[in-house]
Each structure stands twice: as C-alpha cells, then as structure tokens.
C-alpha cells in the first residue's frame, strides 16, 4: 500500500468519527430530526468495505452506517441537511437520516423493517447479472437482522443465481439489548453462507487491514462471477442502540475492552510503526475533517425547511413515457 493510500484511509476513519461525533453532540442540543444511531467504534467496517468501490456499485447501508454515505461519495453538506430534515437533504426535508438514500451516488436508503433492504440489494444484483453489468451490490445488516425471514429469502435467491452481492453483517454483539447468545445458537453467523451455497467469512471489524482483506476477496468474487459472500465483521458500538439508550445491559468492563481495540487508534499505531510523522498527520487530518464537518453544519443550518405543499411532491414515480 502506498503512503498516500494509508493516509487517505486514516482521513476516512477520522472523517466518519468526526461527523458522527458531531451528530451525537447536535442531537443532545435538540437539533436533529429523528433518531441518531451512532456507529462509533465500527468505522473500520464501512471504510474497509467501501473505500475501493466504484461509483456505479450500489450500497445498501443500515441505520448505523452514516459513514458508508461519506465513503460512497455523498456530499457531507447534503448529508447533514438530510439529518436536519431540511430541503437541501436527499429527501428534500421529508425524512430523517434513517430512510434517506442518495441515488446519484448509488446509495439506497435504509428501511425501518430491518433486513428488508437485502431482497432489494439482491434484486439489483440480479439486474446487474441479467444485463451483464460489471457492478456489485453491498448489503449491510446487523446480526439482529440476520434472524429475519427476508434475509434468508434474499440469501437463498442470491445463492441459486450466484449473484454479484456481498452480504456484510456488522456483528456488534447486541441487537438493541439482545446479546448474540439469544440471537443465534452459533458462534459465527457467517457459517450460514455455505448453507446457501456460497462462502462465509469472518473478520475483525475493528481492524481495518482485516476488513479490507476480507472485503476485497468478497468483492473480487462477486465481480468474477463466483457469487455472493456472507462476510461477518465482529465489532462493537460504543454508544447505546440510539442516543436515548444508556445501554445498561452491558458492563463498563466490556465497553472498555472494546475501546482498547479502537479502529482509529489502531490505524494510528500502524502509521507510527511505518515511521511516519504521526503527530503531524493527526493534526493535519483533524483540521481537515473539522473543516468539512463545520461547513456541512453551516450548510444544513442555512438550508430552508420545506413548505407544506412540498409534502405532496415526489411521492410517486413518474410514468415511463411511451415510445
Ligand atoms: C424487523 C424489525 N424488528 C425489530 C425492529 C426494532 N429494532 C430496531 S433496531 C433493532 C436492533 C437491530 O440490531 P442489529 O440488526 O444487530 O443492528 P445494530 O442496531 O446492532 O447495528 C431493533 C430490534 C425493527 N426496526 N425491525
């Protein structure tokens, strides 16, 4: 990997952390519309999976994947406006972050019914295959969603047709307050992959190298016509399920154990071992990401609220004109 690439990856890790950190803070100030589901602690998953995707690959993020939007090229200003429920947001002020997608960057919005984006991701992968398009679909989901029927149906179909899709399970050990041992009776949920006729792989979701390596294999497999992968990334969310959840169902010791495996700090150690001037890189990156987030915030706050009648716009697809 070149030094430039290593620094770029650090920039992404820090940008995601800064953006999400700011959103959590703004939520406490009562400025955010809707819930805030922080992915703090899980940054290496979205960076490792999305950093090398092509503009026309599609991603299907879950509610905790704000970072995936940034990686896939969504404008941070519009993203913040979306979170603020303003007109300049992707949904033009009709929704919070939760369901907002950015089709211009091939980002599908999350759904409230967890796991139900997977059949959509599989549908798009089916279309890529039928039209012989060199594209992949990345479907993110939590280990909680892994228990849903939609997820099973999507994976079964994708296995039969060997579709170019990667199923990325962000296993952060809790689905709201439900721990893994009450979620499934297996250690690694990725063991289900072979049951659908494709590979299951497990990686450390807090180690960027580990995610990148596993994601590359899975994406290459999809592009090469070898079908899907069930990629499980073991990770941990530092915050509660959402900002209103104090997460009293887990111990302080457990949280601290995971914080000691922090993905951003881990990458800093790596840069140090590479003998780069890490103090300078940290200072420069901090300034760079702060500027991006400050500008996004100023833009969102200046963006108007939608007017009442706009609520009726964009509700239906335009009919396809007859030839
Ligand atoms: C089908 C469905 N069941 C329950 C819920 C309520 N709910 C919202 S988030 C959540 C936890 C999801 O856990 P997981 O899928 O592991 O993702 P995580 O939040 O841990 O990233 C639950 C149970 C929902 N939104 N949809």
In the block, tokens 């620094």 appear at 7
Q: Are strands 165-171 and 229-234 parallel, antiparallel or unpaired?
A: parallel
Residue 106 φ then ψ, to 5°: 55, 45
Q: What tens digit of pLDDT does each residue of 251-264 get?
A: 999 999 999 999 99
Ligand 1 binding pocket mutation candidate from 35, 61, 176, 245 (most atoms within 8 A of CB)? 176
Query: Which ligand 1 atom is the nearest neighbour of the CA of 62?
Result: 21
The pLDDT value recorded for residue 92 is: 95
Point out the residues of the chain with pLDDT beneath 50. Answer: none
Distances (CA, A) of 4 to 8, 11, 134: 6, 10, 27
The pLDDT value recorded for residue 322 is: 75
Q: What one-character DSSP code corresponds to residue 89?
A: S
Query: Which ligand 1 atom is the nearest neighbour of the CA of 174?
Result: 20
Distances (CA, A) of 8 to 142, 176, 289: 27, 33, 12
The pLDDT value recorded for residue 315 is: 86
User: In residues, how long is the chain?
Assistant: 323
Question: Which residues, at least 6 apart from 43, have a Cβ–Cβ distance to it below 8 Å?
Answer: 13, 16, 17, 67, 263, 264
Query: Which ligand 1 atom is the nearest neighbour of the CA of 148?
Result: 1
Query: Which ligand 1 atom is the nearest neighbour of the CA of 39?
Result: 21
CA of 161 to the centre of ligand 1 (A): 28
Q: What tens digit of pLDDT does each residue of 3-22 get?
A: 999 999 999 999 999 999 99
Q: Yes or no: is domain 3-312 CATH 3.40.50.970?
A: yes
The pLDDT value recorded for residue 73 is: 98
In whole angstroms, give the CA distance from residue 36 to residue 191.
31
The pLDDT value recorded for residue 319 is: 78
Residue 34 φ then ψ, to 5°: 90, -175
The pLDDT value recorded for residue 323 is: 67
Q: Which residues form ligand 1's pocket by a CB distance below 6 Å?
A: 62, 64, 112-114, 142-145, 148, 170, 172, 174-176, 241
Q: Are strands 229-234 and 58-60 parallel, antiparallel or unpaired?
A: unpaired
CA of 146 to the centre of ligand 1 (A): 10
Which residue's CA lies nearest to atom 21 of ligand 1?
A: 142
Q: What tens digit of pLDDT does each residue of 11-63 get?
A: 999 999 999 999 999 999 999 988 999 999 999 999 999 999 999 999 999 99
The pLDDT value recorded for residue 317 is: 81
């Amino acid at each position: 990997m070149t030094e430039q690439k290593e620094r770029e990856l650090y920039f992404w890790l820090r940008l995601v952390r800064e953006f999400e950190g700011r959103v959590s803070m703004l939520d406490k100030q009562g400025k955010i519309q809707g819930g805030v589901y922080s992915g703090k602690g899980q940054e290496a998953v979205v960076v490792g999976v999305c950093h090398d995707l092509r503009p026309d690959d599609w991603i299907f993020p879950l509610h905790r994947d704000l970072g995936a939007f940034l990686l896939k090229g969504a404008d941070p200003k519009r993203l913040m406006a979306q979170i603020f429920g303003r007109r300049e947001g992707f949904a033009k002020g009709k929704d919070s972050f939760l369901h907002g997608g950015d089709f211009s960057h091939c980002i599908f919005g999350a759904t409230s019914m967890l796991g139900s984006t997977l059949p959509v991701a599989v549908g798009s992968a089916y279309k890529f295959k039928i039209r012989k398009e060199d594209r992949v679909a990345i479907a993110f989901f939590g280990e909680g969603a892994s228990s849903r029927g939609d997820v099973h149906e999507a994976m079964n179909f994708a296995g039969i047709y060997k579709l170019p899709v990667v199923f990325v399970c962000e296993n952060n050990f809790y689905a709201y307050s439900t721990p893994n041992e009450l979620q499934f009776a297996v250690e690694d949920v990725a063991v289900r992959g072979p049951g659908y006729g494709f590979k299951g792989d497990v990686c450390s979701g807090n180690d960027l190298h580990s995610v990148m390596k596993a994601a590359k294999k899975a994406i290459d497999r999809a592009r090469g016509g070898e079908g899907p992968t069930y990629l499980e990334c073991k990770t941990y969310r530092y915050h509660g399920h959402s900002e209103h959840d104090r997460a009293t169902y887990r111990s302080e010791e457990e949280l601290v154990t995971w914080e000691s495996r922090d993905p951003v700090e881990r990458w800093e150690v790596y840069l140090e071992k590479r003998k780069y001037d890490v103090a300078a890189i940290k200072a420069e990156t901090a300034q760079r990401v702060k500027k991006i987030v400050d500008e996004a915030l100023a833009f969102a706050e200046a963006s108007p609220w939608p007017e009442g009648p706009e609520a009726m716009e964009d509700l239906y697809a335009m009919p396809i004109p007859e030839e």
